[in-house]
Amino acid sequence: MTRILGVLGGMGPLASAQFMLRLTLLTPAARDQDHVPSVLWSDPRVPDRTAARLGGGEDPLPALLRGLRGLEGAGCGAVAIPCNTAHGWFDAMQAATTLPILHIVDAAEAELRRLGVAPGPIGVMGTEGTLAMRLYQDRLEPRGWRCLVPSPEEMRRLVSPAIAEVKANRVAEAHRPLAEAARVLVARGARAVVLGCTEIPLGIAAGPALPFPVCDTIDALARTAIAWAAQRH
Amino acid sequence: MTRILGVLGGMGPLASAQFMLRLTLLTPAARDQDHVPSVLWSDPRVPDRTAARLGGGEDPLPALLRGLRGLEGAGCGAVAIPCNTAHGWFDAMQAATTLPILHIVDAAEAELRRLGVAPGPIGVMGTEGTLAMRLYQDRLEPRGWRCLVPSPEEMRRLVSPAIAEVKANRVAEAHRPLAEAARVLVARGARAVVLGCTEIPLGIAAGPALPFPVCDTIDALARTAIAWAAQRH
Protein backbone atom coordinates (compact mmCIF):
# COMPACT_ATOMS: atom_id res chain seq x y z
CA MET A 1 0.00 0.00 0.00
CA THR A 2 1.36 3.38 -0.98
CA ARG A 3 0.84 6.09 1.62
CA ILE A 4 -1.31 8.95 0.39
CA LEU A 5 -0.70 12.32 2.03
CA GLY A 6 -3.72 14.48 2.77
CA VAL A 7 -3.16 18.22 2.65
CA LEU A 8 -5.76 20.40 4.33
CA GLY A 9 -5.12 23.66 2.56
CA GLY A 10 -6.49 26.84 1.08
CA MET A 11 -5.34 28.81 4.14
CA GLY A 12 -4.10 30.63 2.10
CA PRO A 13 -4.27 29.00 -1.29
CA LEU A 14 -0.90 30.34 -2.44
CA ALA A 15 0.81 28.80 0.59
CA SER A 16 -0.89 25.46 -0.15
CA ALA A 17 0.23 25.53 -3.75
CA GLN A 18 3.75 26.39 -2.64
CA PHE A 19 3.60 23.48 -0.19
CA MET A 20 2.74 21.11 -3.06
CA LEU A 21 5.61 22.55 -5.12
CA ARG A 22 8.12 22.15 -2.29
CA LEU A 23 6.78 18.67 -1.43
CA THR A 24 7.64 17.73 -5.01
CA LEU A 25 11.00 19.50 -5.28
CA LEU A 26 12.27 18.18 -1.92
CA THR A 27 11.42 14.55 -2.81
CA PRO A 28 14.30 12.47 -4.19
CA ALA A 29 12.70 11.36 -7.46
CA ALA A 30 13.81 10.30 -10.90
CA ARG A 31 10.34 10.07 -12.52
CA ASP A 32 6.67 10.83 -11.80
CA GLN A 33 6.12 7.48 -10.08
CA ASP A 34 8.75 8.24 -7.37
CA HIS A 35 6.78 11.23 -6.01
CA VAL A 36 4.41 11.30 -3.01
CA PRO A 37 0.76 10.62 -3.91
CA SER A 38 -1.30 13.33 -2.27
CA VAL A 39 -4.69 14.96 -2.17
CA LEU A 40 -4.87 18.71 -1.58
CA TRP A 41 -8.18 19.91 -0.20
CA SER A 42 -7.83 23.63 -0.94
CA ASP A 43 -10.78 25.38 0.64
CA PRO A 44 -10.08 29.11 0.83
CA ARG A 45 -13.61 29.63 2.23
CA VAL A 46 -12.51 28.44 5.69
CA PRO A 47 -13.39 31.40 7.98
CA ASP A 48 -10.39 33.55 8.89
CA ARG A 49 -8.56 31.88 11.78
CA THR A 50 -7.17 35.03 13.38
CA ALA A 51 -10.53 36.84 13.22
CA ALA A 52 -12.17 33.83 14.88
CA ARG A 53 -9.68 33.78 17.73
CA LEU A 54 -9.34 37.50 18.35
CA GLY A 55 -12.48 39.15 17.09
CA GLY A 56 -15.27 36.68 17.66
CA GLY A 57 -15.41 35.88 13.91
CA GLU A 58 -17.01 32.73 12.53
CA ASP A 59 -15.62 29.45 13.91
CA PRO A 60 -13.41 27.71 11.30
CA LEU A 61 -13.68 24.28 12.96
CA PRO A 62 -16.73 23.00 11.01
CA ALA A 63 -14.98 23.81 7.70
CA LEU A 64 -11.74 22.21 8.93
CA LEU A 65 -13.62 19.04 9.91
CA ARG A 66 -15.37 18.94 6.49
CA GLY A 67 -11.91 19.00 4.91
CA LEU A 68 -10.70 16.18 7.16
CA ARG A 69 -13.75 14.10 6.18
CA GLY A 70 -12.92 14.75 2.53
CA LEU A 71 -9.30 13.62 3.00
CA GLU A 72 -10.42 10.51 4.89
CA GLY A 73 -12.83 9.73 2.05
CA ALA A 74 -9.99 10.06 -0.46
CA GLY A 75 -8.01 7.33 1.31
CA CYS A 76 -5.30 9.49 2.86
CA GLY A 77 -3.07 8.07 5.60
CA ALA A 78 -1.97 11.28 7.33
CA VAL A 79 -2.73 14.98 7.16
CA ALA A 80 -0.49 18.03 6.76
CA ILE A 81 -1.98 21.49 7.27
CA PRO A 82 0.15 24.24 5.69
CA CYS A 83 -1.40 26.96 7.89
CA ASN A 84 0.12 27.67 11.30
CA THR A 85 -2.92 29.48 12.74
CA ALA A 86 -5.22 26.53 11.96
CA HIS A 87 -3.10 24.56 14.47
CA GLY A 88 -4.98 26.48 17.17
CA TRP A 89 -7.69 23.90 16.47
CA PHE A 90 -5.21 21.00 16.37
CA ASP A 91 -6.56 19.11 19.40
CA ALA A 92 -10.17 19.35 18.20
CA MET A 93 -9.14 18.17 14.72
CA GLN A 94 -6.96 15.33 16.00
CA ALA A 95 -9.78 14.19 18.31
CA ALA A 96 -12.11 14.05 15.31
CA THR A 97 -9.99 11.81 13.05
CA THR A 98 -7.96 8.63 13.33
CA LEU A 99 -5.50 9.99 10.75
CA PRO A 100 -2.31 11.35 12.31
CA ILE A 101 -1.98 15.12 11.79
CA LEU A 102 1.65 16.20 11.31
CA HIS A 103 2.06 19.20 13.67
CA ILE A 104 3.65 22.18 11.94
CA VAL A 105 5.37 23.41 15.15
CA ASP A 106 7.10 20.03 15.55
CA ALA A 107 8.11 20.25 11.89
CA ALA A 108 9.53 23.74 12.54
CA GLU A 109 11.54 22.46 15.49
CA ALA A 110 13.00 19.64 13.38
CA GLU A 111 13.88 22.17 10.68
CA LEU A 112 15.65 24.43 13.22
CA ARG A 113 17.78 21.47 14.32
CA ARG A 114 18.47 20.58 10.65
CA LEU A 115 19.68 24.17 10.19
CA GLY A 116 22.06 23.67 13.10
CA VAL A 117 20.18 25.91 15.53
CA ALA A 118 20.29 24.62 19.12
CA PRO A 119 17.56 25.31 21.70
CA GLY A 120 17.73 28.89 22.96
CA PRO A 121 16.28 32.22 21.89
CA ILE A 122 14.52 32.23 18.51
CA GLY A 123 12.28 34.72 16.77
CA VAL A 124 8.76 33.66 15.86
CA MET A 125 6.75 35.60 13.33
CA GLY A 126 3.13 34.64 12.74
CA THR A 127 -0.40 35.92 12.57
CA GLU A 128 -1.89 37.74 15.53
CA GLY A 129 -3.96 34.60 16.12
CA THR A 130 -0.92 32.30 16.22
CA LEU A 131 0.89 34.59 18.65
CA ALA A 132 -2.18 35.13 20.88
CA MET A 133 -2.79 31.36 21.05
CA ARG A 134 0.91 30.89 21.99
CA LEU A 135 1.16 28.00 19.49
CA TYR A 136 4.96 28.15 19.40
CA GLN A 137 5.63 29.31 22.95
CA ASP A 138 3.57 26.63 24.72
CA ARG A 139 4.87 23.79 22.53
CA LEU A 140 8.54 24.76 22.25
CA GLU A 141 9.44 26.51 25.51
CA PRO A 142 9.18 23.30 27.59
CA ARG A 143 11.77 21.87 25.16
CA GLY A 144 14.33 24.61 25.86
CA TRP A 145 13.46 27.17 23.19
CA ARG A 146 12.63 30.78 24.08
CA CYS A 147 10.34 32.56 21.64
CA LEU A 148 10.81 36.28 20.89
CA VAL A 149 7.85 37.73 19.05
CA PRO A 150 7.18 41.08 17.33
CA SER A 151 5.65 43.83 19.49
CA PRO A 152 1.97 44.74 18.95
CA GLU A 153 3.14 47.86 17.12
CA GLU A 154 5.43 45.77 14.80
CA MET A 155 2.56 43.35 14.16
CA ARG A 156 0.22 46.23 13.19
CA ARG A 157 2.77 48.10 11.08
CA LEU A 158 4.80 45.27 9.50
CA VAL A 159 3.68 41.66 9.88
CA SER A 160 -0.13 41.71 9.65
CA PRO A 161 -0.31 44.00 6.58
CA ALA A 162 2.37 41.92 4.83
CA ILE A 163 0.45 38.66 5.41
CA ALA A 164 -2.65 40.31 3.91
CA GLU A 165 -0.60 41.43 0.86
CA VAL A 166 0.41 37.81 0.14
CA LYS A 167 -3.18 36.60 0.47
CA ALA A 168 -4.11 39.23 -2.12
CA ASN A 169 -1.35 38.01 -4.52
CA ARG A 170 0.86 41.08 -3.88
CA VAL A 171 3.83 38.98 -2.87
CA ALA A 172 6.69 41.35 -3.74
CA GLU A 173 5.23 44.13 -1.59
CA ALA A 174 5.42 41.86 1.46
CA HIS A 175 9.21 41.44 1.44
CA ARG A 176 10.41 44.70 2.98
CA PRO A 177 8.14 44.78 6.07
CA LEU A 178 8.67 41.06 6.76
CA ALA A 179 12.45 41.34 6.43
CA GLU A 180 12.41 44.34 8.78
CA ALA A 181 10.37 42.45 11.39
CA ALA A 182 12.78 39.49 11.19
CA ARG A 183 15.85 41.72 11.54
CA VAL A 184 14.37 43.34 14.65
CA LEU A 185 13.97 39.93 16.31
CA VAL A 186 17.59 39.03 15.58
CA ALA A 187 18.70 42.39 16.98
CA ARG A 188 16.88 41.43 20.20
CA GLY A 189 18.85 38.19 20.48
CA ALA A 190 17.09 35.59 18.29
CA ARG A 191 19.54 33.04 16.81
CA ALA A 192 17.12 32.21 14.01
CA VAL A 193 13.66 33.32 12.93
CA VAL A 194 10.73 30.97 12.41
CA LEU A 195 8.46 32.12 9.58
CA GLY A 196 5.48 30.81 11.52
CA CYS A 197 2.76 31.72 9.06
CA THR A 198 2.88 30.04 5.66
CA GLU A 199 2.35 33.34 3.84
CA ILE A 200 5.57 34.76 5.34
CA PRO A 201 8.13 32.58 3.47
CA LEU A 202 6.49 33.63 0.19
CA GLY A 203 7.09 37.30 1.01
CA ILE A 204 10.58 36.69 2.39
CA ALA A 205 11.55 34.77 -0.77
CA ALA A 206 10.50 37.72 -2.95
CA GLY A 207 13.66 39.69 -2.04
CA PRO A 208 17.31 39.23 -1.08
CA ALA A 209 18.13 36.41 1.34
CA LEU A 210 18.37 37.31 5.02
CA PRO A 211 21.84 37.08 6.68
CA PHE A 212 20.70 34.72 9.50
CA PRO A 213 18.96 31.31 9.65
CA VAL A 214 15.26 31.38 8.87
CA CYS A 215 12.94 28.42 9.33
CA ASP A 216 10.45 28.23 6.46
CA THR A 217 7.43 26.38 7.88
CA ILE A 218 6.29 25.36 4.37
CA ASP A 219 9.58 23.53 3.74
CA ALA A 220 9.62 22.20 7.30
CA LEU A 221 6.19 20.62 6.93
CA ALA A 222 7.06 19.30 3.46
CA ARG A 223 10.17 17.54 4.82
CA THR A 224 8.14 16.01 7.66
CA ALA A 225 5.53 14.80 5.15
CA ILE A 226 8.18 13.29 2.86
CA ALA A 227 9.68 11.43 5.83
CA TRP A 228 6.21 10.12 6.73
CA ALA A 229 5.62 8.94 3.16
CA ALA A 230 8.98 7.15 3.08
CA GLN A 231 8.31 5.07 6.23
CA ARG A 232 7.82 1.34 5.86
CA HIS A 233 4.17 0.31 6.03
CA MET B 1 -23.38 26.91 -4.07
CA THR B 2 -19.71 27.68 -4.64
CA ARG B 3 -18.19 25.79 -7.54
CA ILE B 4 -15.37 23.48 -6.50
CA LEU B 5 -12.74 22.77 -9.15
CA GLY B 6 -11.40 19.24 -9.39
CA VAL B 7 -7.81 18.90 -10.54
CA LEU B 8 -6.72 15.49 -11.76
CA GLY B 9 -2.98 15.81 -11.34
CA GLY B 10 0.30 14.20 -10.46
CA MET B 11 1.23 13.90 -14.14
CA GLY B 12 3.75 15.23 -13.30
CA PRO B 13 3.42 16.44 -9.74
CA LEU B 14 5.52 19.58 -10.28
CA ALA B 15 3.25 20.64 -13.13
CA SER B 16 0.18 20.08 -10.92
CA ALA B 17 1.65 22.14 -8.11
CA GLN B 18 2.53 24.89 -10.59
CA PHE B 19 -1.05 24.73 -11.89
CA MET B 20 -2.36 25.34 -8.34
CA LEU B 21 0.07 28.23 -7.94
CA ARG B 22 -0.96 29.86 -11.22
CA LEU B 23 -4.66 29.20 -10.52
CA THR B 24 -4.19 31.24 -7.36
CA LEU B 25 -2.00 34.00 -8.79
CA LEU B 26 -4.23 34.54 -11.86
CA THR B 27 -7.39 34.87 -9.73
CA PRO B 28 -8.48 38.42 -8.92
CA ALA B 29 -8.56 38.15 -5.13
CA ALA B 30 -8.19 40.43 -2.12
CA ARG B 31 -8.31 37.73 0.58
CA ASP B 32 -8.34 33.95 1.01
CA GLN B 33 -12.10 33.72 0.63
CA ASP B 34 -12.01 35.20 -2.92
CA HIS B 35 -9.97 32.29 -4.30
CA VAL B 36 -11.26 29.19 -6.15
CA PRO B 37 -12.04 26.23 -3.89
CA SER B 38 -10.37 23.20 -5.41
CA VAL B 39 -9.33 19.65 -4.78
CA LEU B 40 -6.08 18.41 -6.31
CA TRP B 41 -5.87 14.65 -6.74
CA SER B 42 -2.14 14.29 -7.26
CA ASP B 43 -1.44 10.69 -8.14
CA PRO B 44 2.04 10.39 -9.64
CA ARG B 45 1.55 6.61 -9.80
CA VAL B 46 -0.60 6.91 -12.94
CA PRO B 47 1.23 4.74 -15.50
CA ASP B 48 3.28 6.73 -18.00
CA ARG B 49 0.96 8.01 -20.72
CA THR B 50 3.51 8.07 -23.54
CA ALA B 51 4.81 4.58 -22.74
CA ALA B 52 1.22 3.29 -22.78
CA ARG B 53 0.49 4.79 -26.18
CA LEU B 54 3.76 4.04 -27.93
CA GLY B 55 5.31 1.09 -26.21
CA GLY B 56 2.46 -1.07 -24.98
CA GLY B 57 3.03 0.08 -21.38
CA GLU B 58 0.38 -0.26 -18.67
CA ASP B 59 -2.95 1.42 -19.47
CA PRO B 60 -3.36 4.64 -17.41
CA LEU B 61 -7.17 4.72 -17.80
CA PRO B 62 -8.06 2.78 -14.62
CA ALA B 63 -5.93 5.15 -12.51
CA LEU B 64 -7.42 8.19 -14.28
CA LEU B 65 -10.95 6.91 -13.59
CA ARG B 66 -10.07 6.31 -9.91
CA GLY B 67 -9.01 9.95 -9.71
CA LEU B 68 -12.25 11.09 -11.33
CA ARG B 69 -14.26 9.05 -8.80
CA GLY B 70 -12.27 10.72 -6.01
CA LEU B 71 -13.00 14.20 -7.38
CA GLU B 72 -16.70 13.35 -7.79
CA GLY B 73 -16.75 12.14 -4.18
CA ALA B 74 -15.18 15.41 -3.04
CA GLY B 75 -18.08 17.38 -4.52
CA CYS B 76 -16.25 18.93 -7.47
CA GLY B 77 -18.25 20.55 -10.28
CA ALA B 78 -15.73 20.31 -13.14
CA VAL B 79 -12.34 18.76 -13.79
CA ALA B 80 -9.08 20.25 -15.10
CA ILE B 81 -6.24 17.88 -16.03
CA PRO B 82 -2.84 19.64 -16.15
CA CYS B 83 -1.30 16.93 -18.36
CA ASN B 84 -1.62 17.19 -22.11
CA THR B 85 -0.86 13.53 -22.86
CA ALA B 86 -3.63 12.34 -20.52
CA HIS B 87 -6.05 14.04 -22.93
CA GLY B 88 -5.46 11.09 -25.24
CA TRP B 89 -7.96 9.38 -22.92
CA PHE B 90 -10.30 12.40 -22.86
CA ASP B 91 -13.28 10.73 -24.55
CA ALA B 92 -13.12 7.66 -22.29
CA MET B 93 -12.85 9.89 -19.20
CA GLN B 94 -15.65 12.23 -20.29
CA ALA B 95 -17.88 9.23 -21.04
CA ALA B 96 -17.26 7.94 -17.50
CA THR B 97 -18.29 11.10 -15.59
CA THR B 98 -21.07 13.66 -15.64
CA LEU B 99 -18.58 16.37 -14.57
CA PRO B 100 -17.45 18.53 -17.48
CA ILE B 101 -13.73 18.10 -18.21
CA LEU B 102 -12.08 21.35 -19.37
CA HIS B 103 -10.07 20.33 -22.48
CA ILE B 104 -6.49 21.59 -22.36
CA VAL B 105 -6.25 21.98 -26.16
CA ASP B 106 -9.30 24.28 -26.17
CA ALA B 107 -7.69 26.21 -23.31
CA ALA B 108 -4.49 26.51 -25.38
CA GLU B 109 -6.45 27.84 -28.37
CA ALA B 110 -8.14 30.47 -26.17
CA GLU B 111 -4.72 31.45 -24.81
CA LEU B 112 -3.27 31.82 -28.33
CA ARG B 113 -6.12 34.20 -29.21
CA ARG B 114 -5.59 36.09 -25.94
CA LEU B 115 -1.91 36.49 -26.97
CA GLY B 116 -3.10 38.00 -30.28
CA VAL B 117 -2.10 35.00 -32.41
CA ALA B 118 -4.57 34.39 -35.28
CA PRO B 119 -5.18 30.93 -36.81
CA GLY B 120 -2.29 29.89 -39.04
CA PRO B 121 1.01 28.05 -38.53
CA ILE B 122 1.96 27.39 -34.90
CA GLY B 123 4.58 25.22 -33.29
CA VAL B 124 3.45 22.46 -30.94
CA MET B 125 5.89 20.87 -28.52
CA GLY B 126 4.74 17.92 -26.46
CA THR B 127 5.51 14.38 -25.43
CA GLU B 128 5.97 11.72 -28.08
CA GLY B 129 2.58 10.38 -26.98
CA THR B 130 0.81 13.72 -27.47
CA LEU B 131 2.32 14.14 -30.95
CA ALA B 132 1.65 10.53 -31.99
CA MET B 133 -1.99 10.81 -30.86
CA ARG B 134 -2.28 14.09 -32.85
CA LEU B 135 -4.05 15.73 -29.88
CA TYR B 136 -3.39 19.24 -31.19
CA GLN B 137 -3.47 18.57 -34.91
CA ASP B 138 -6.84 16.80 -35.00
CA ARG B 139 -8.55 19.31 -32.69
CA LEU B 140 -7.07 22.56 -34.00
CA GLU B 141 -6.46 22.03 -37.72
CA PRO B 142 -10.21 21.97 -38.57
CA ARG B 143 -10.35 25.41 -36.92
CA GLY B 144 -7.72 26.92 -39.21
CA TRP B 145 -4.52 26.28 -37.26
CA ARG B 146 -1.57 24.40 -38.78
CA CYS B 147 0.62 22.53 -36.32
CA LEU B 148 4.39 22.31 -36.87
CA VAL B 149 6.00 19.72 -34.61
CA PRO B 150 9.62 18.80 -33.82
CA SER B 151 11.22 16.12 -35.99
CA PRO B 152 11.75 12.65 -34.50
CA GLU B 153 15.45 13.54 -34.18
CA GLU B 154 14.63 16.79 -32.32
CA MET B 155 12.24 14.90 -30.04
CA ARG B 156 14.92 12.33 -29.20
CA ARG B 157 17.73 14.83 -28.74
CA LEU B 158 15.94 17.85 -27.21
CA VAL B 159 12.31 17.57 -26.13
CA SER B 160 11.93 14.09 -24.60
CA PRO B 161 15.10 14.25 -22.45
CA ALA B 162 14.14 17.75 -21.23
CA ILE B 163 10.68 16.57 -20.14
CA ALA B 164 12.32 13.74 -18.19
CA GLU B 165 14.68 16.25 -16.52
CA VAL B 166 11.72 18.25 -15.18
CA LYS B 167 10.00 15.11 -13.89
CA ALA B 168 13.25 14.36 -12.01
CA ASN B 169 13.30 17.92 -10.50
CA ARG B 170 16.22 19.03 -12.70
CA VAL B 171 14.30 22.01 -14.04
CA ALA B 172 17.18 24.36 -14.93
CA GLU B 173 18.81 21.72 -17.14
CA ALA B 174 15.66 21.56 -19.27
CA HIS B 175 15.77 25.17 -20.46
CA ARG B 176 18.42 25.06 -23.20
CA PRO B 177 17.12 22.06 -25.17
CA LEU B 178 13.49 23.23 -24.92
CA ALA B 179 14.36 26.76 -26.02
CA GLU B 180 16.32 25.34 -28.98
CA ALA B 181 13.39 23.15 -30.04
CA ALA B 182 11.02 26.15 -29.84
CA ARG B 183 13.36 28.35 -31.89
CA VAL B 184 13.59 25.70 -34.60
CA LEU B 185 9.80 25.67 -34.96
CA VAL B 186 9.69 29.47 -35.31
CA ALA B 187 12.46 29.29 -37.93
CA ARG B 188 10.20 26.90 -39.87
CA GLY B 189 7.35 29.42 -39.89
CA ALA B 190 5.49 29.05 -36.58
CA ARG B 191 3.96 32.34 -35.38
CA ALA B 192 3.85 31.10 -31.79
CA VAL B 193 4.81 27.94 -29.94
CA VAL B 194 2.42 25.93 -27.78
CA LEU B 195 4.19 24.36 -24.78
CA GLY B 196 1.90 21.35 -25.08
CA CYS B 197 3.26 19.32 -22.19
CA THR B 198 2.90 20.81 -18.73
CA GLU B 199 6.54 20.06 -17.88
CA ILE B 200 7.75 22.27 -20.76
CA PRO B 201 6.70 25.70 -19.36
CA LEU B 202 8.63 24.88 -16.16
CA GLY B 203 11.82 24.33 -18.15
CA ILE B 204 11.22 27.31 -20.43
CA ALA B 205 10.66 29.59 -17.41
CA ALA B 206 14.04 28.52 -15.95
CA GLY B 207 15.96 30.71 -18.41
CA PRO B 208 15.68 33.95 -20.42
CA ALA B 209 12.30 34.70 -22.05
CA LEU B 210 11.90 33.64 -25.68
CA PRO B 211 11.54 36.42 -28.29
CA PHE B 212 8.23 35.13 -29.75
CA PRO B 213 4.79 34.26 -28.29
CA VAL B 214 4.64 31.05 -26.32
CA CYS B 215 1.44 29.48 -25.07
CA ASP B 216 1.92 28.05 -21.58
CA THR B 217 -0.68 25.28 -21.25
CA ILE B 218 -0.56 25.47 -17.44
CA ASP B 219 -1.60 29.14 -17.50
CA ALA B 220 -4.07 28.47 -20.30
CA LEU B 221 -5.85 25.76 -18.32
CA ALA B 222 -5.76 27.89 -15.15
CA ARG B 223 -7.45 30.80 -16.96
CA THR B 224 -10.14 28.47 -18.33
CA ALA B 225 -10.72 27.06 -14.83
CA ILE B 226 -10.98 30.53 -13.28
CA ALA B 227 -13.54 31.51 -15.94
CA TRP B 228 -15.53 28.35 -15.13
CA ALA B 229 -15.45 29.11 -11.40
CA ALA B 230 -16.63 32.68 -12.00
CA GLN B 231 -19.75 31.64 -13.96
CA ARG B 232 -23.17 32.18 -12.42
CA HIS B 233 -24.65 29.01 -11.02
B124-182 pLDDT tens trace: 999 999 999 999 999 999 999 999 999 999 999 999 999 999 988 899 999 999 999 99
Q: In terms of residue numbers, what domain contains A31?
A: 5-103+220-230
Angle subtended at Cα B161 by Cα A227 and Cα B92, rounded to the nearest 5 degrees: 80
| B interface test, pick of A24, A58, A165 with most B CB neighbours within 10 Å | A24
CA distance B57 to B205: 31
Per CB-CB distance under 8 Å, the chain A contacts of B20 are 13, 16-17, 20, 40, 42
Average pLDDT of the residues of chain B: 95
**Burial classification of residue A9, based on how many CB atoms lie within 10 Å of its CB (0-12 exposed, 13-18 middle, 19 or more buried):** buried
Tell me how crowded residue B36 is: count the other CB atoms within 10 A of its CB: 24
* For residue B217, pLDDT beyond 80: yes
The letter for the amino acid at B1 is M
Do the chains contact at A167 and B29, CB–CB below 8 Å? yes
Residue B194, SS3? strand
Do the chains contact at A169 and B29, CB–CB below 8 Å? yes
In this prediction, residue B2 carries a pLDDT of 76
Active-site residue set of A? 83, 197
Q: Does residue A224 sit in the same domain as residue A212?
A: no
**A221: confidence class by pLDDT, cuts 50, 70, 90:** very high
In this prediction, residue A68 carries a pLDDT of 97
In this prediction, residue B7 carries a pLDDT of 98
Please name the residue ranges forming H helices in chain A: 13-25, 49-55, 61-73, 90-95, 104-114, 128-132, 135-140, 152-154, 160-167, 175-187, 200-204, 217-230
CA distance B50 to B56: 9
Q: Does residue A136 sit in the same domain as residue A197?
A: yes
Q: How close B230 comes to chain A (CA, Å)?
A: 15
Q: Measured over all CA atoms, what is the biggest interatomic distance in chain A, rounded to whole angstroms?
A: 51
Residue B196, preceding peptide bond in cis (omega within 30° of 0):
no
Q: Does residue A26 sit in the same domain as residue A37?
A: yes
Q: Does residue B98 sit in the same domain as residue B137?
A: no
The letter for the amino acid at A70 is G
Per CB-CB distance under 8 Å, the chain A contacts of B41 are 39, 74
Global pTM value: 0.94
CA distance B200 to B184: 15
In this prediction, residue A233 carries a pLDDT of 55
Q: Does residue B13 sit in the same domain as residue B75?
A: yes
Provide the residue count of chain A.
233
Is residue B177 within 8 A of residue B157, CB to CB? The reply is yes
A169 in the Ramachandran plot: left (φ > 0), alpha (ψ -120 to 50) or beta?
left
Q: How close A124 comes to chain B (CA, Å)?
A: 23
Q: Does residue A16 sit in the same domain as residue A99?
A: yes
* For residue A1, pLDDT beyond 70: no
Q: Does residue A81 sit in the same domain as residue A134?
A: no
In this prediction, residue A56 carries a pLDDT of 84
Q: Does residue B123 sit in the same domain as residue B83?
A: no
Query: Going along B67-225, which residue ranges are E strands?
Result: 78-80, 101-102, 121-125, 146-148, 193-195, 214-216
What ipTM was reported for this prediction?
Answer: 0.93
Q: Does residue A95 sit in the same domain as residue A122?
A: no
For the segment A140-171, what is each residue's pLDDT rounded down to a tens digit? 999 999 999 999 999 999 999 999 999 888 99
**A188: confidence class by pLDDT, cuts 50, 70, 90:** very high
Residue A66 forms contact with B (CB below 8 Å): no
Rounded mean pLDDT, A64-71: 96
| A interface test, pick of B8, B26, B42, B49 with most A CB neighbours within 10 Å | B42
For residue A72, give the CATH number of its domain.
3.40.50.1860
Residue B33 forms contact with A (CB below 8 Å): yes
How many domains, in total, are found in chain A? Answer: 2
* For residue B84, pLDDT beyond 90: yes
For B204, phi then psi, to 5°, come to -60, -40
Please name the residue ranges forming H helices in A115-199: 128-132, 135-140, 152-154, 160-167, 175-187
Average pLDDT of the residues of chain A: 95
Find the CB nearest B20 among A17, A31, A48: A17
Q: Does residue A48 sit in the same domain as residue A98?
A: yes
Cα atoms in the 13 Å half-sphere on the side-chain side of A216: 17
In this prediction, residue A55 carries a pLDDT of 82
Is residue B124 within 8 A of residue B188, CB to CB? The reply is no
Q: Does residue B74 sit in the same domain as residue B61?
A: yes
* For residue B78, pLDDT beyond 80: yes
CA distance A62 to A20: 24
Rounded mean pLDDT, B52-59: 89
Q: Does residue B135 sit in the same domain as residue B98?
A: no
